[in-house]
Each structure stands twice: as C-alpha cells, then as structure tokens.
A and B are shown apart, each in its own frame.
Chain A
C-alpha cells in the first residue's frame, strides 16, 4: 500500500499563534509532497509543491511567508501556518507522489484547523 499520515488531525489555536502540521509517507519514500486546502463542500486547492531538499513551489496567491513548508526528508514534510487568523481556518490535506513516473498521489487524512 501507500499510506500517508498527518498530525495532528485537529487543532484549535488562538489568533496570532503558529501551527505546524506534519505529513509523513509511512511505507514509501516520497520525493514530492503536496499541500492542499479545502473549504466545506468544495474541491481541493493546491497550495504548494514540496520537493525534498529544496524550496517549495507555491501556487499563485498563496503567501509563502505565511505558509512555511519544509521537506526535510523523503518521508516528512511540514506546513507551518504562521500568525494564524480566523480566515486561515480550513481543512489542510497533504499528499505524496510515490515516484517521478507515476501520476498518482496518495493523500493523508487531513488536518482540521480552527483559529479562534
């Protein structure tokens, strides 16, 4: 299988604080991981593409200084939401690509972020 985990599954924080979300590929090495954001009853919106050992590539309109991405190893990528505000409340989902040949992405279970 291709299992991707995320931690935490839910987080509630106060406005102005920073929150870190971890994404791990459990049974394979992922050269590329992706971070998505999803609003209720809507589709996934790609935020950034994270490659191991290099800087993330952010989609247009996504603030790279606000959403810090680190891909320190072939099995771990982290997303840090800095100085979170209520409008950052959302469902954040990561995915991992198994290799550079396959198009398939395997998704984590998501993290529900609520900023008070």
Chain B
C-alpha cells in the first residue's frame, strides 16, 4: 500500500498569514493532484503537477512537485476566510494502465479566521 503523508492535519490561522501544506511519500507518482473540498460537497480540482520540480501558480496558491516526484507542497499567500476548506493531495500511479488509481492523503483542514 502506498502511503501519502499529508501535514499538517489541522491548521487554524488568521487572515493575511501565509501557510504551507506538505504531501510526502516514499513512492514515485506519475502526477499529483491537489483538491479543495467544502463540507457536503465533492472535491474540486485545483491543479495537476506532472513534471519533477514543476511549480504552478493559481492566484495566491503555489504548488510544487518534488524533483523525484515523491512529494509536493501547497503554499498559500495572504490567506483569506474564503480559503477555508479541506485540502487534499492525491498521487496517481499506473497511468495508461488498468491498475491506475489515485492515492489520497488524509487531508488538511484549513480554517482562516477573519
């Protein structure tokens, strides 16, 4: 079983602060996805990173894929209350094959207080 360790599990910060969420594994992934989920809804895709060392930016969110494609980070600058939610990382293996699946981290529950 491949494990994807996500940390921290809970994070409560004040509006305007910066934060980083980490996903680490001993396994190599073909790609890694980051999702955001609000209560009672399905996860919404934020980004997919594919290439080792890749950095993608989405407004105040910066995503990085490790050089070895085993880890990833999500950095949020100047967090806002609207960023509150459950952030999930998911690593993909078996692309193009019948054994393709996503392995999810446990999630980071972020609360941004006004």
Contact = CB atoms under 8 A, between A and B. Distances in A.
Interface of A: 4, 6, 32, 34, 41-46, 49, 51, 91, 93, 95, 97, 100-110, 112
Given A93-B42, A109-B41, A44 B88 contact: yes
Contacts, number: 63
A108 B42 contact: yes
Contacts of B90: 105
Contacts of B81: none
B33 to A, nearest CB: 6
Nearest to A105: B102
Contacts of A32: 100
Interface of B: 30-31, 33, 35, 40-45, 48, 50, 86, 88, 90, 92, 95-96, 98, 100-102, 104-107, 109
Contacts of B41: 109-110
A43 B105 contact: yes
A41 B96 contact: no
Contacts of A91: 40
Given A44-B104, A101-B96, A109-B42, 14 more contacts: A41-B86, A41-B109, A42-B106, A42-B107, A43-B88, A43-B105, A49-B101, A103-B31, A103-B48, A105-B33, A105-B45, A107-B44, A109-B41, A112-B40
Main secondary structure of the interface of A (DSSP, over half): strand
B101 A106 contact: no
Nearest to B29: A103
B45 A43 contact: no
Nearest to A44: B104
Contacts of A43: 88, 104-107
A107 B92 contact: no
Nearest to A10: B40
A112 B40 CA distance: 8
6 contacts: A43-B104, A91-B40, A103-B102, A105-B102, A107-B42, A108-B42
Contact of B48 (A49, A51, A95, A104): A104
A107 B101 CA distance: 14
A110 B40 contact: yes
